[in-house]
Amino acid sequence: MSVPVLEMKAISKSFYGNQVLNNINLTVNKGEIHCLVGENGAGKSTLMNILFGMSVITDTGGYDGDILINGSSVAFNSPKAAIEAGIGMVHQEFMLLPGFTVTENIKLNREDTKPNVFSRVLGRKMETLNRKKMASDARNALDKLGMSIDEWVPVAGLPVGYLQFVEIAREIDKENLQLLVLDEPTAVLTESEAEQFLTVVQRLADSGISILFITHRLDEVMAVANQITILKDGELVRSGRTGEFTIAQMAELMVGRKVETSGRISSEKREKANTKVLEVRDLAVDMPGERLRGIDLDVYEGEILGIGGLAGHGKIALANGVMGLYTSRGQVRYQGIDVPLNNPREALNLGLAFVSEDRRGVGLVLEDSIANNIVLTSMQTQEKFLKPGPLKLKDQKQITAHALESIERFDIRCTGPEQIVRRLSGGNQQKVCIARAFTQNPKLLFVSEPTRGIDVGAKSRVLELIVELNRMGVTVVITSSELAELRSISDRIAIIYEGKLSGILAPDAPDVEYGLLMAGKSLEEVGIGERQTN
């Protein structure tokens, strides 16, 4: 066998005496897809930062161990050095300039130039951009990825899924690219986008580029990986060929406990109440990228209603519209009372609560403590946690007591109620969001994308929490891009297609029916009679 593209030998790293990586070995061969899996905090990011010579590593005393590229030892002291050695990285957060076109982003700082009058005098810095060449290079890179988007459109306004491809196009456009590191690239993609993405990754690997793929989604790992390495708490748990693992085994090794990957959390069939809690009539929500174009939907008391569909089809807009966060038209009745639209205050006052899909942007005050995040909404809308008296001073004692209780109940892993929310992992942040909504004592709870970007262990815990709340009498409307997740907890699942309701299915309906509804085909149309779901 030829020399491996990348070899990392006995890598160890500690931050201020805190061992975060211990004796990690990793080998990536040419044209191979190597999956690196592990929970949040397992040390994946640190390992990649070491590979890339990021300043967080060099500033904190470097690392122990050796890195070999094509058999020769290297030590990168800056990302630039790593890039020059042929390593490319696609980050979890997009690193694109929104106002620039796709081409400009792909070619940023590596623009093709041609000489002109000024450059002959003043040097290369003054050369003109060779836009034609740049555009054709960009086109080429996009074609390799099977992307149909035009290379001249600005990046701003492109759907999230496309941004990922633009980032990859930028990396593969680099001629000396040998190893591409993908850091949780599918976290923000929908299922169909992710599928397309995996095909592309496969194609890249076939063309001889080695790929180091970091992900939480184990079925993806099974689908594309040649080699798998599992990290847990900074240790290498196991490494081997893909065939040596099953999904269940991987999940188990990763979290160190048994985890059900799919399988229904709420298994019992329940009697459906006949009282409608929420009646939505012809609701249109003007949410950029997720427009809802008129939908009729009833929510029954005590149920968990799942809302599914592909990204960009408007499923997320439903909760945002009802809660008044985006401009909407139509009629919403809650327990027979009209909910005034475009007025978050009124929606909250009526007893609706919302866990936003944008956890860090809308769901939390990142710089504030866990305790404050949990009580803020209730304090402002329901006058809770205030001392009696005209001054309405906040009651710190009561707040702390409630926060401690919530931390216990929702299993929030933290150093205490005063810890700043920014420092928590995604899963624990999500638990804080749910605790906040629960503190409002809602009758009807909207939860959007509750498991986006959080690790497997926390995922099932979050879903369990939602089910627990439901059993305590809260009606839940859950929106998610992960169908398996909806099917594991919902009583009914509504599928949204192009801003309209495509159909409602039972959680145990066959996959094909889900597939059809998501593709915008009605069940009658293809000859499957509608199932009795209502």
Partner 1 sequence: MKDRLIKIYHGFGLPRLIISVFLLALIIVAAGTDLSVPGLLSDSLVRIGQNGIYVLAMIPSIQAGAGLNFGLPVGVIAGMVGVLVSMENSLIGFGGFLVALLVAIPLGTIAGYLYSLLLNRVAGQEMMVGTYVGFSVVAGMCIFWLMAPFSNPALIWPVGGQGLRVTLTLADTFGGTLNNFLAFQIFGLTVPTGLLLFYALLAFLLWLFLRSKPGVAMEVVGRNPRFAVASGLNINSYRSVGIVLSTVLAAIGYVVYAQSFGFAQLYNGPLMTAFPAVAAVLIGGASTREAKVVNAIIGVILFQTLLTVAMPVTNQLVEGNISEIARVIVSNGMILYALTRVTGGEQA
Query: Alpha-carbon distance 76 to 50, whole Å?
Result: 8
Residue 432: strand, helix, or coil: helix
- Asked whether 332 and 322 are in contact (CB, 8 A), the reply is yes
Does residue 364 interact with partner 1 by CB under 8 A? yes
Mode of pairing for the β-strands spanning 500-505 and 128-129: unpaired
Considering only residues 117, 121, 391, 472, which one is a binding residue for partner 1 as defined by CB under 8 A?
391
Phi, psi (5° rounding) for residue 342?
55, 30
Nearer to partner 1, 226 or 381 (CB): 381
Does 363 interact with partner 1 (rule: CB under 8 A)?
yes
Site for partner 1, residues 304 to 323, rule: CB under 8 A:
323
Bridge-based pairing of strands 492-497 and 304-308 is parallel
d(CA 450, CA 466): 9
At residue 246, what is the residue type?
A: T
Q: Which residue has the tokens 């809660």?
A: 323
Q: Which of residues 324-353 bind partner 1 (CB under 8 A)?
A: 325, 344-345, 347-349
Q: Could you give phi then psi for residue 137, rounded to 5 degrees?
A: -60, -45
Stretches 131-139, 147-155, 230-238, 387-395: which one binds partner 1 (CB under 8 A)? 387-395
Contact (Cβ atoms closer than 8 angstroms) between residue 58 and residue 88 = no
- The 8 Å CB, 24+ separation contacts for 199-207 are 199/146, 200/145, 200/146, 200/165, 200/168, 201/33, 202/33, 203/144, 203/145, 203/146, 204/144, 204/168, 204/172, 204/180, 205/31, 205/32, 205/33, 206/31, 207/31, 207/144
Question: Residue 17, interface with partner 1 (CB under 8 A)?
Answer: no
Q: Which is nearer to partner 1, 393 or 512 (CB)?
A: 393
Tell me whether residue 166 or residue 347 sits nearer to partner 1 (CB atom): 347
Site string for partner 1, 392-431 (x = CB under 8 A): xxx-------------------------------------
Tell the smallest beta-carbon distance from residue 385 to partner 1 (Å): 9
> Which span sits near partner 1 by CB under 8 A: 100-108, 219-227, 365-373, 475-483?
365-373
Q: How far is the CB of 366 from partner 1 (least distance, A)?
A: 7
Site string for partner 1, 270-299 (x = CB under 8 A): ------------------------------
Q: If binding is defined by CB under 8 A, does position 383 make contact with partner 1? A: yes
CB of 304 to partner 1, least distance (A): 22
Q: Which of 190, 356, 369, 481 touches partner 1 by CB under 8 A?
A: 356
Q: Residue 262 or residue 349: which is nearer to partner 1 going by CB?
A: 349
- According to DSSP, the β-strands at 235-241 and 328-334 are unpaired
Amino acid at 105: N
Is 444 a residue that touches partner 1 (CB under 8 A)?
A: no
Residue 102 tokens read as 């796709």
117 interacts with partner 1 by CB under 8 A: no
CB 382 → partner 1: shortest distance, Å? 10
Residues that bind partner 1 (CB under 8 A): 323, 325, 344-345, 347-349, 354, 356, 358, 361-368, 372, 376-377, 379-381, 383, 386, 391-394
